[in-house]
Amino acid sequence: MQKGRFIVFEGIDGSGKSTQIRLLHRRLTELGIRCVETFEPSSGPVGSLVNQIMTKRMRADERVIASLFAADRLDHILNEQDGLLKTTESGITVLSDRYYFSSYAYNGVSLPVEWIIELNAQCAELLRPDLNIFIDIDPEKTLKRIENDRVSKELYETYDRLSKVRENYFSAFARFEGEENVIVVDGDRPPEQIADDIWEKVKDCFNI
């Protein structure tokens, strides 16, 4: 049986990742390709802790946040019930809302990126994405979307931080050029137009 693909969506908060995952899920399902959606942090115990920190219900310094994300990611890959490896090996494609590039970008705002890379090395060895899709959009625009959409803001949701996060994404992509399959799409367009762009790249990934 052919392994399922692992397709990761990246982008700053509010860039439209979950919207695009939903649209891609629909297209793949229509073609009879089995797929599931997942996100980071996971819904497991470490992921719940991370969620509490990101929504400011619990405090932790940035080094702890980076380590918790890496631990959650490893569990998400390896856990025996519904781990990403097990899922892809059983022929199901996984559409994931973020993976390790978000760690470089978000935690690298205030921690040495070398250390973050070290922390994620095992995840990269165990499961590399077939395709990383970065939805690019100006932080000012996503902040407006978030303000309309949500009651409370998360830890990184300020203009300065998100701008730095966006820069960090691009420096991480440059650094991993050749090792990672990254495409950047313009996120400041109607969702269907973005989805059409993404679909062209995904078709290559599936040889459709």
Cα-Cα end-to-end distance for the chain: 17
Q: State the nearest-atom distance from the C-beta of 40 to ligand ADP, in Å.
A: 11
Q: What does the alpha-carbon distance between residue 187 and residue 52 come to, in Å, rounded to a whole number?
A: 28
- Pair 67, 53: CB distance under 8 Å: no
Q: What does the alpha-carbon distance between residue 141 and residue 16 come to, in Å, rounded to a whole number?
A: 11
Q: State the nearest-atom distance from the C-beta of 138 to ligand ADP, in Å.
A: 12
Q: Which is nearer to ligand ADP, 4 or 11 (CB)?
A: 11
Q: Which is nearer to ligand ADP, 45 or 191 (CB)?
A: 191
Q: Which is nearer to ligand ADP, 16 or 83 (CB)?
A: 16
Q: Which two tokens stand for residue 26?
A: 């629909």
Q: Which is nearer to ligand ADP, 39 or 206 (CB)?
A: 39
Q: Which helix (H) or strand (E) holds 10?
A: strand 6-10
What residue ranges bind ligand ADP (CB under 6 A)? 11, 13-19, 145, 149, 190-191, 194
Q: State the nearest-atom distance from the C-beta of 18 to ligand ADP, in Å.
A: 3
Looking at the DSSP bridge assignments, the partners of residue 177 are: 180
Whether cis (ω within 30° of 0) applies to the bond prior to 41 is yes
Q: State the nearest-atom distance from the C-beta of 150 to ligand ADP, in Å.
A: 9
- Pair 203, 7: CB distance under 8 Å: no
Q: What residue has token string 């695009």? A: 20
Three-state secondary-structure class, residue 82: coil
Q: Which is nearer to ligand ADP, 144 or 203 (CB)?
A: 144
Q: Which is nearer to ligand ADP, 105 or 119 (CB)?
A: 105
Q: State the nearest-atom distance from the C-beta of 97 to ligand ADP, in Å.
A: 6
Q: State the nearest-atom distance from the C-beta of 125 to ligand ADP, in Å.
A: 27
> How many angstroms separate the Cα of 80 from the Cα of each of 36, 77, 96, 127?
16, 9, 18, 15
